[in-house]
């Protein structure tokens, strides 16, 4: 595990570090806690302008909002996260949606 990785995968679970809010939260997510994983395009407000970016959204049971990772904030590791999440979803039969071909 590298210090900057936000997602670390095991066979049936992942550890995800969410540092987009006011404080850092670590989620230990087993495959049965995950409702779905979605890749899509998004427009995100960044100071005075909007930025078009790719987004990963992980919907978790008993949580109102999905856990979101934006490419513009994690460019260095984003492709690695997408690759790992695709494999995790397939191996654990988690619903997976790749909407990257659609407009934001």
Full-model pTM: 0.88
- Report pLDDT digits (tens) over 16-67: 998 877 888 899 999 999 999 999 999 988 888 898 999 999 999 999 999 9
For 7-99, CATH number out of 1.20.120, 1.10.3470, 2.60.120, 2.30.29 equals: 2.30.29
Nearest to 69 by CA among 4, 6, 22: 6
- Residue ranges of the domains in the chain? 7-99
- Does the CA dihedral 25-44-95-59 come out positive or negative? positive
Measured in Å, how far apart are the chain's first and last C-alpha atoms? Answer: 32
Residue 35: which residues within 8 A CB-CB, separation 6 or more?
Answer: 59, 60, 61, 95
Rg over CA atoms, the chain? 13
3-10 long-range Cβ contacts below 8 angstroms, 24+ apart: 4/76, 4/77, 5/77, 5/80, 6/69, 6/74, 6/77, 6/81, 7/69, 7/81, 7/84, 7/85, 9/84, 9/87, 9/88
Q: pLDDT exceeding 90 applies to what percent of the chain? A: 69
């Amino acid at each position: 595990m590298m210090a900057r990785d936000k997602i670390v995968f095991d066979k049936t679970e992942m550890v995800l570090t969410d540092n987009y809010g006011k404080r850092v939260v670590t989620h230990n997510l087993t495959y049965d806690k995950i409702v779905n994983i979605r890749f899509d395009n998004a427009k995100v407000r960044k100071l005075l302008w909007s930025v078009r970016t790719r987004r990963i959204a992980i919907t978790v049971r008993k949580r109102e909002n999905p856990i979101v990772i934006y490419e513009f904030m994690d460019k260095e590791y984003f492709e690695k996260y997408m690759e790992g999440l695709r494999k995790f979803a397939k191996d654990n039969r988690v619903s997976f949606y790749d909407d990257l071909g659609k407009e934001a």
